[in-house]
Chains A and B, each alone.
Chain A
């Protein structure tokens, strides 16, 4: 079965650069979530979208923005990167927001 696809798998950026992470949800899933997971930490909710509209917002820094496009894929844009932004970034998708989340394999972002 098709799963959540994230790209790139790994990304190395320097401080103050920008990064764009992409997420392609499971076909027919209309809700996308972004989570940030630091080393040894639990996933922290950043933001979610339902039917291309922001549905919930968590601890997403103002330097980050995200959107969901007409084909339901989502992009997380990160600007003015800081060393502390180094983490695994997971995208998850679900159907209607009230069904279980299915996660991608994440993007490992390293900021140097």
Chain B
């Protein structure tokens, strides 16, 4: 079945540093979504991408839809302590309703 490989699996960074994470797939996706999840809570949508090559920002967050449609990345600039959490990518293939989630990147920010 479809799999989304997300890397890195975890990151420890200093406050103020930039962060980059990515998702890759063996399949083509039509939509990429990026979520942040806090412990015991539901994932919160950060950015949605709909076209190959699309680059979208949301405050300090920037995400891009890869040209091959098989990957996406998320950058966080000038990280702050509240950025701590698990970041998930999710992809939706053509002709399907379901979104497949990546394995998650656990981010810890050291003040």
Chain A residues packing against B (C-beta within 8 Å) = 4, 31, 33, 35, 42-45, 48, 50, 55-56, 58, 88, 90, 92, 97-106, 108
Chain B residues contacting A42 (CB-CB under 8 Å) are 88, 101-104
Q: Which of B43, B99, B102 contacts A45 (CB 8 A)?
A: B99
- Nearest-neighbour CB distance to chain B for A11, whole angstroms, equals 14
Interface hub of A44, A45, A100, A103 (most chain B Cβ within 10 A): A100
Please state if B98 and A45 are interface contacts (CB–CB under 8 Å): yes
Q: Which of B41, B45, B90, B102 contacts A102 (CB 8 A)?
A: B45
Chain B residues packing against A (C-beta within 8 Å) = 31, 33, 35, 40-45, 48, 88, 90, 92, 96-104
| CB closest residue in chain B, given A88 | B40
The number of residue pairs between A and B whose CB atoms lie closer than 8 Å in the complex comes to: 56
Chain A residues contacting B43 (CB-CB under 8 Å) are 43, 90, 103
A99 to B50, CA, bound (A): 9
A33 to B100, CA, bound (A): 12
A15 to B96, CA, bound (A): 34
Please state if B41 and A43 are interface contacts (CB–CB under 8 Å): no
- Nearest-neighbour CB distance to chain B for A1, whole angstroms, equals 12
Chain A residues contacting B92 (CB-CB under 8 Å) are 98
Chain A residues contacting B101 (CB-CB under 8 Å) are 35, 42-45
A92 to B100, CA, bound (A): 13
